[in-house]
Structure 1
Amino acid sequence: MFEEIYSPVQKIDAAPFSNLFVKRDDLIDPYISGNKWRKLKYILQKAKASSKTHLVTFGGAYSNHLVATAAAAARSGFKATAFVRGEEVKNEMLLICSLYGMELIFVDRERYKNKAELYADYFGSNSAAYFINEGGASAEAVMGCSEIITELTATYDHIFVAAGTGTTAAGLSKGIEEQGLKTKLHVVPVLKGGSFIADEISLYTEISNHLILHTDYHFGGYAKTTPELLAFIKRFTRETGILIDPVYTAKMFYSIFDLCAQNQIHSTDRILAIHTGGLLGLLGMKEKF
């Protein structure tokens, strides 16, 4: 179903670092991008093994997960439906979803909170339907994300990743534990009050002392930005040639530079940043630039 992967590790020249590397999951696919590819890999295998033909999932109007699910469904022979949070809108992301054949059902924010009830109301009697949680959060997604660690051919002092639901971080944590590595895993929640990410990770793997949460790099909350963050994106992209987005990866990369400035990590440490893709999220921020 997903047979080929292209996710090289690239060393980048960025002062003051001498050993800063990026795992380029953003290059895996333009639409089933980065960690979304990894999350969906085993979810779709399970759906197929269960003889399901209709994927049903959830997300906001600018959700990379919805685009990825729509593209993956079309390529793999599944029908797809998404419950979209909020009032009915049209944008570039939802256009791509629709072109891939995904049906969109807009629901108000209050009703959206109870996803299990929504699914039951619309698809409870549909034996072909398969529930995929928002962002793909599941044990299957964690297993897919853990493979990031097994693909690495070198070891690192630190691995950094941005976190929304915590699923990718859980996979990385699980992979580090299974490989017996001494690497520190730095998780950068992109939402306010991101300490809950530790609880989400603990649902899938034991929390160990290699995990470090940095909860002060949300820049106001999910999908929020500041002039400082936007300036960082422009400078980083211009100097490295690597595109990053304001919602996830920019906040992670910013944290690396800031933590080095605070001497919490050192410029000579071997550091790997996981580029989780999601660059289409820039479309929802275009007026900010």
Structure 2
Amino acid sequence: MFTPPAVERLAWPLADEAGVIVECLRADTLDSEISGNKAWKLRLPLARALSEKRGIISCGGGWSNHLHALAAAGARLGIETHGLVRGHPEAPLTPTLADARDNGMRLSFVSRAEYRQRDQPDFARRHGEGVWIPEGGGCVEGVAGLAPLAQALAEPVPGESAPQLVLLACGSGTTLAGVLSALGERDGLRVIGVPTMNHGDQLYHRVRRLLAESGGSQQKTPEWGLWLGAQAGGFAKAPDWLIQFIQRFEAETGVAVEPVYTAKLFATLAHHLANGLIARGTRIRVLHSGGLQGRRGYPALQAI
């Protein structure tokens, strides 16, 4: 579960035409249930729950990759898990939540109004006891747990040069903060986060806050920034053009992606490549953050 994933050079015609090298850190291949960046964000809270002999309580939506991974990890490690889900108990369970339930997660449904209070100090205590993990693993432990994944993102493939540009999709901003915190100041490397929700510009402040909480306001990081405009209509929205991009990208590269994070990440990279916005000769390392279980929410992808 916590083995650094392999780096794969993509055979992508668009990258070849642009004269760049695109490598993919295939964190999606680590585990069928606890894939991508989720395992790394969870590893320290899981260790603390085991040490303290406590359960874990967290929150998410009906298609939450975070809750899906947490439930599977809890089942394997013998840790009780409790998921606070934004939604209505009378609604049919999504396949994601059905998996979580089958892995022993207790599911409690909260209204949208109450869910908006999830960052309040007493939110978790209203619903039970246990090690609290914020939505998406967005906490100091989540940031610190990403250190091995961050090193894998920056290390050169044997016999090759190190990447000059690292790209990753952003939801809570935890993975971006974890990568920046672990890598420290590093010449010749730029790290770019691609927010996939509306108001992605607000992520600057969240990432800076996570960095300050993790290592202090003076913490050194690589040069970093955000590529905005990747939301494609909003979080988890998948317009026809994005579905068509997924179909084309998967046919060309053989790498499966999903509409919430990774498809929007690669579509944004494709835009930059097609418009000559990345210098020829650049070596790019892209994090595939998993989440492929979420494809089940998009009927147009079921036939692929």
TM-score above 0.5: yes
- State the Cα distance separating 1:52 from its structure 2 match: 3.8
Q: Which residue of 1 aligns with 2:242?
A: 229
- 159-168 vs 106-115, which deviates more? 106-115
Q: Which residue of 2 aligns with 1:91?
A: 94
* Residue 10 of structure 1, aligned match among 8, 11, 33: 8
Q: Partners of 2:85 and 2:240 in 1: how far apart?
A: 29
**Count of aligned pairs:** 281
Q: Alpha carbon RMSD of aligned pairs, Å?
A: 1.8
Code of the residue aligned with 1:270 in structure 2: it is: R
* Residue 163 of structure 1, aligned match among 149, 170, 176: 170
Say yes or no: does 1:254 pair with 2:257.
Answer: no
* Residue 292 of structure 2, aligned match among 256, 279, 287: 279
Q: How does 1:65-214 map to 2 (within 5 A)?
A: 65-88=66-89, 89=91, 90-115=93-118, 116-123=121-128, 126=129, 129-151=130-152, 152-154=154-156, 155-177=162-184, 180-205=186-211, 206=219, 210-214=223-227
Aligned 8 A contact 2:54 2:131 in 1: yes
Aligned 8 A contact 1:146 1:173 in 2: no
Q: Which residue of 2 aligns with 1:55?
A: 56
Code of the residue aligned with 2:102 in structure 1: it is: L
Q: Deviations over 1:9-59 (max 9, x none)?
A: 00011123241100000011111111101100111112233x142111100
Code of the residue aligned with 2:56 in structure 1: it is: L
* Residue 23 of structure 1, aligned match among 22, 25, 29: 25
Q: Deviations over 1:99-132 (max 9, x none)?
A: 1000100111001122243322222xx4xx1111
Aligned 8 A contact 1:6 1:27 in 2: no
Q: Which residue of 1 aligns with 2:48?
A: 46
Q: Partners of 1:145 and 1:181 in 2: how far apart?
A: 21
- Structure 1 runs (4+) greater than 3 angstroms displaced: 206-209
* Residue 231 of structure 2, aligned match among 193, 218, 223: 218
Q: Partners of 2:25 and 2:243 in 1: how far apart?
A: 22
Q: Partners of 1:193 and 1:267 in 2: how far apart?
A: 31
Counterparts in 2 of 1:61 and 1:217: CA distance versus 1, 3 Å: same
Q: TM-score, normalised by structure 2?
A: 0.87
Q: Percent identity?
A: 31
- 162-171 vs 257-266, which deviates more? 257-266
Aligned 8 A contact 1:176 1:183 in 2: no
Q: Partners of 1:122 and 1:228 in 2: how far apart?
A: 41
- State the Cα distance separating 1:67 from its structure 2 match: 0.7
3-state SS in 2 of match to 1:10:
strand
3-state SS in 2 of match to 1:37:
helix
Q: Deviations over 1:124-147 (max 9, x none)?
A: xx4xx1111111111111112232
Aligned 8 A contact 1:16 1:267 in 2: no
Q: Partners of 1:41 and 1:35 in 2: how far apart?
A: 10
Code of the residue aligned with 1:166 in structure 2: it is: G
- State the Cα distance separating 1:287 from its structure 2 match: 4.7
Q: Partners of 2:155 and 2:191 in 1: how far apart?
A: 17
For structure 2, the 5+ residue unaligned runs are 157-161, 212-218
- 108-117 vs 56-65, which deviates more? 108-117
- State the Cα distance separating 1:267 from its structure 2 match: 4.4
